[in-house]
Every structure is written in C-alpha cells, then in structure tokens.
Structure 1
Amino acid sequence: MRTRFTELFGVEHPIAQGGMQWVGRAPLVAAVANAGALGFITALTQPTPEDLRAEIRRCRELTDKPFGVNLTILPAITPPPYAEYRQVIIDEGVPFVETAGSNPVEHLEHFHSAGIKVIHKCTSVRHGLKAQKLGVDALSIDGFECAGHPGEDDVPGLILLPAAADALDIPFIASGGFGDGRGLAAALALGADGINMGTRFMATVESGIHQNVKDRLVEAGERDTQLIFRQLRNTARVADNAVSREVVAKLDAGATFEDIKDLVAGKRGVLVYETGDLDHGIWSAGMVQALIHDIPTCEELITRIVREAEEIITGRLAGLVGAPAAV
C-alpha cells in the first residue's frame, strides 16, 4: 500500500503509532517499526533530555528501521526544557518528529535545518492550514473520537477528514477512532494518507503498560470514556473510572482547576499504567476501545489491519462496482 505518507516517511505501511505519554517507549516503538509502520518515542515520558537520549539509543538496539520522537508542547507554570529535548533529538539523528499541543514554529527551523521531517497534530482544519503555512511536512488530523485532547470543536472524523482533504495540500494521516482495517480503508477513502493509532497500540504485547489496563481496553465499550476539563476549555478524553467521574462532577458543580489538580496529577496517572490500579488516577483511552477485542503483537496487528483494508478495497468495495444487472 503506497500513499504520500509512506513515501514521505519511507515506511512500508500507512500506519503510525502516535506519541503517548507514559506509553511511547522503545520496546513498543521498535516493534511498530519492525512491523513496517512508523512509531514515535514520547520525549516527555523521559524525565530529562539525557534520559531521552538513552531511550533513543535503546530503540536503535531493537530496530534498524526508521522511527521518530514526539515532542508535545503545552503551556505550564514551569515548562520542560524543550530546547534541550529538541537538541537531543537533533544530536541523535532522529529523522522524524511529531509535534503536538501548541504552535511548533519555535522548533521548526531547528528541525528542518537538521533535515528532520515534522508531522504536526491538529484537531481542526483551520489549525491544519496554519501549520501547513508554517511549513510542517505533514499533519495528523485528530477527530473528536480520539483519546487525549480532541480540541473544542467536537467535529468527528467522518466530517473532519474530508474537510481536511479538501483544504490541505500536504500529506495528512487520520487520527481518532482507528483500530482495524475498516478504519484504514475508510480513512483512505475520505482523503487521508494513512492512520494514526494510540489506544489500539496500548493493547498490544509490546506495550509496557500493566496487563489490567490492556484487559480493560478489551472489555470497554465506546461509551466508557469521560470528557474532562470541558469547563476549562482544555477538553481531554480519558478512561471512565472513579477519578474521572469525580473530576467531571466537581467541575460541573463549579470547581476550579485548583480544586481538582491533585486528582488529575500525572504522577497518579502513571501509576495506573505501572500498578494496574484502574481507579488510581486519570489515564487516556479513546472511543476506539469498543473495537479492541484482543491483545496481539504489533506485527500481528499491523499485518491484520493492512490485510483487512486491502480485502475491503479490492474485494467488497470493488465488487459493488460492476456492470448493471440485466433487465
């Protein structure tokens, strides 16, 4: 399957494993790369820039295929040393970067000067057009179904993707709600050049999170997520659990961020992945969990998705187009 995405990033399959906080680590990324797709180490999962350097080198010990690093740029009272993380990415010769969150303009010149291609994640067409104007090489367009931050427009992929295809000139991949071959075939039909999956890759053998979390993703349905921070206009889709329900209830009752900051602290969320206590903190999950029914290896998952998509495109869909029935 060849698309503008596979040609630009030099991968076999039009599938990406996006950066996921606490999840995008070397074993998962290498497994994705070895299966012919594009994986991203999550920079800020690593406590320091030097830890990121070590993780990049660990990934290179596990694969000789190309992979990238995700650098999510978010406002913070004490922001991470983004310039230092960026320099490690450049020094280590990483060929691709996925940026997300805030405007990536501060980093683009540095990455492009080093020959690094940048794919930027957006949740709206207007933001995609702005990123395209800034000079990013490709885009990941996130629909309302996605885990993490879906933006504030609430536009689902069925509308967002063809709207993006009509407006954009550069390659883009579809994100939010993708987990099988039907999704890949649909994304290509809607004008995307591939798909970006997060939640689906969490439920794989090589994902380093606790088995309880993987099992919950298999059990959960499309209604088992919560949208938190809506009142703060910083909406995030997370797994439905005791903590996320408490956060929603408190914000509905007029609480401020200060009132709930301890509930949503990242140090609590990471312990969910490490200990398997599903109610210990906030953790991300997309609506696509309704389509997750097993925990395969990355190679099994990617091979299956591509095979299913090809069968849909060349089989079922092609079979619908034929000579008219005789009268």
Structure 2
Amino acid sequence: MRTPITELLGIEHPVVQGGMMWVGRAELAAAVSEAGGLGIITALTQPTPADLVAEVERARRLTGKPLGVNLTILPTIDPPPYADYVRAIADSGVEVIETAGANPEPFMDLLKGAGLTVLHKCTSVRHALKAQRIGVDAVSIDGFECAGHPGEDDVPGLVLVPAAADALDIPFIASGGFADGRGLAAALVLGAHGVNMGTRFMCTVESPVADEVKAAIVEQGELDTVLIFRPLRNTARVAANEVSREVVRLLDEGGEFADVRELVAGSRGRTVFEQGDTEAGIWSVGMAQGLIHDVPAAGDVVRRVVRQAEDVLRAALGADPDGSGVDQQRGSALSR
C-alpha cells in the first residue's frame, strides 16, 4: 500500500507507531519497523541523551529498516535538556524525528543538516500550516480522540483530517482514534496518507508496559478516559481512575497546578507502566482502547491493519473478491 508518506519515510506500509512516554523503547519500535511500518523511540523515556543514543543502537541490532525518535517539548515539573536531546537525535543515525509540543523551528537547521525527515505533530490545521511554512517534511494531525494532548479546539478526526487534506501541500498522517484497518481505510479516503497509532501499539507483546495495563486497555471502553488540565488550557486525555478524577475535581473547584502537581508527577505514571498498578497515577490512553480486544505482536498489528484496510477498500470500491483491478481503483480513491 504505497502513499506519499511511505515514499517519504522509506517504509512499506502507511502505519506509524506513536512516540509514547515510557513505552517507545527499542523492542517495540524495532518490531514495528521490521514489519514495514515506522517504529518510534521516545527520547525523553531515556534519562540522558547518551542513553537515547544507546537505545537507538539497541534497536538497530533488531532491525535495519527506518526508525524514528520522538521528542515532545512541553512544560514539565523538571524540564529536560531539550537541545542536548536534539543533538543526540541528529547524531544517532535515525532517519526520522517526530517533534511535538513546541515549535521545532529553532532546531530545523540542525535536523535538516543531519539529513533527518521531520514529522511534526499538530492538533489543528493552523498549526499544521505553520509547520509546513517552517519547512517540516510531514505532519501528524491529532484529532480530539487521541491520548495525551489533543489541543484545545476539540475537533475530532472526522472533520480535522479532511480539513487538513484541503489545506496542506505536504504529506500527513492521521492520529487519534485509530486502532485497526477500518481506521486506516477511513483515514486514506479522508485524505490522509497514513495513520499514527499509539494506544494500539501500547497493547502489544513488545510494549514494555506491565501486563496489568494491557489487560486494562482490553477491558476498558471508549468512555473510560478523562480530560485533565482543561481549566489550565493544557488538556490531556488519560485513563479514568481515582487519581485523574481527583485532578479534574480539584481544578474544576478553582485549584491551580500546584494543587495537583504531586498527583500528576511523571514518576507516578511510570509506576503504573512498570508495576501494573493502574491506580498509582495518571497514564495516557486514547479512546481507541474501545476498539482493542487483544494483545498481539506489534508486527502482527501492522500486517493485519494493512490487510484489513485493503479488504475494506476493496469492498467499498466494489472490487472483485480476488482483488483484480483493485490497485487502479484504489489509486483513484486515494489520490485526493
């Protein structure tokens, strides 16, 4: 299934693994890349830039296919040395950097000079257009359904993706709410060139999170998430638990960040993923968990998502069961 994003990234399938804190490690990223998608290592999961380079080297021993690194630049309790991480990514030998949060413009010369393809994550068309103007190679459009930070506009993917397709000249992928081949097919028809999946890949064999977390994702539905930090204009979608509900209560009653600081500490979220106590802190998960019913290998996710998308598109286009003539019909349907 070739699209502008597969050509740009040098991958076989238009499926990208999201860069997730405490989740995007070598084994998961390598498994996705080896299956033909793009696996992404999360930079800030590694305690130092040197550790990040070592993690990339571990992934390289598992696959020779393209790899990416995610760097999310957001206000945090203890800000990491972002510039040092950028330099480490540029020197690591990966092909792609996924930036998110702050504007990556200050780092563009360094990243482009190192030959990296820059994929920037956006939650609105206006931000995507700004990213296009500063020279990123592609963008990831995050709809309101996504885990983590969906922005403040509350626009779901069904509207945001075609709006982006109408406005952008560069390739883009759709993110937020995607977990199977039906979603990939829908994204392509809406004008995207692929999908980014986070929660789906978090619930795979190679994902480093505890089995209890994976079991919770399988059990929970699309209603089992909570939006926190809304009064602070820094909205984040996380799993519904006692901690996240308490954060919402305190802020809705007029509290400030200082009042929830300890509840939302990253160390508590890390405890969730490492020890499997889903009530230990806040942890990101998307509405797509309502579409997840198993814990397969990451490579199997890539292959079956693409296979299901092809089947769905064949059926929608009225192609013959054996697929004859599908490529031509699919090409016209996906060329928007």
Q: Counterpart amino acid of 2:127? A: H
**Aligned pairs (5 A) from 1:35-114:** 35-76=35-76, 78-114=78-114
Q: Name the CA distance, whole Å, in 2 between partners of 1:259 and 1:89.
A: 35
Give the CA deviation at 1:77: 6.3
Q: Name the CA distance, whole Å, in 1 between partners of 2:265 and 2:158.
A: 33
Give the CA deviation at 1:16: 0.1
Give the CA deviation at 1:102: 0.6
Q: Name the CA distance, whole Å, in 1 between partners of 2:36 and 2:156.
A: 28
Q: Counterpart amino acid of 2:201? A: F
2:79 partner SS: coil
Question: Partner residue of 2:314?
Answer: 314
Question: Partner residue of 2:331?
Answer: none
Q: Counterpart amino acid of 1:144? A: F
Give the CA deviation at 1:74: 1.4
Q: Name the CA distance, whole Å, in 1 between partners of 2:291 and 2:95.
A: 32
Q: Counterpart amino acid of 1:141? A: I
Question: Partner residue of 2:126?
Answer: 126
Q: Name the CA distance, whole Å, in 2 between partners of 1:149 and 1:77.
A: 16
1:196 partner SS: strand
Matched, 1:154 2:150: no
More off after superposition, 167-176 vs 245-254: 245-254
Q: Counterpart amino acid of 1:221? A: G
RMSD value, Cα? 1.1
Give the total of aligned pairs: 320
Q: Name the CA distance, whole Å, in 2 between partners of 1:49 and 1:301.
A: 30
Matched, 1:241 2:241: yes
Question: Partner residue of 1:204?
Answer: 204
Give the CA deviation at 1:319: 5.4
Gaps of 5+ in 2: 321-336
**Aligned pairs (5 A) from 1:191-270:** 191-270=191-270
More off after superposition, 145-154 vs 105-114: 105-114
Q: Name the CA distance, whole Å, in 2 between partners of 1:317 and 1:260.
A: 51
1:282 partner SS: coil
**Deviation by residue 1:170-203 (Cα, 9 ceiling, x = unmatched):** 0000000000010000000000000000000000
**Deviation by residue 1:30-59 (Cα, 9 ceiling, x = unmatched):** 000111000110000101111101101111
Q: Name the CA distance, whole Å, in 1 between partners of 2:61 and 2:77.
A: 36
Q: Name the CA distance, whole Å, in 1 between partners of 2:77 and 2:311.
A: 50
Question: Partner residue of 1:297?
Answer: 297
**Deviation by residue 1:141-165 (Cα, 9 ceiling, x = unmatched):** 0000000000000000000000000
Gaps of 5+ in 1: 321-327
Question: Partner residue of 1:137?
Answer: 137
Give the CA deviation at 1:299: 1.5
Q: Name the CA distance, whole Å, in 2 between partners of 1:92 and 1:312.
A: 39
> Structure 2 vs 1, CA of residues 283 and 78 (structure 1 numbering), >3 Å: closer, same or farther?
closer
Q: Counterpart amino acid of 1:117? A: T
What is the TM-score of this pair, normalised by structure 1?
0.96
More off after superposition, 86-95 vs 27-36: 86-95
Question: Partner residue of 1:168?
Answer: 168
Give the CA deviation at 1:87: 1.4
Question: Partner residue of 1:189?
Answer: 189
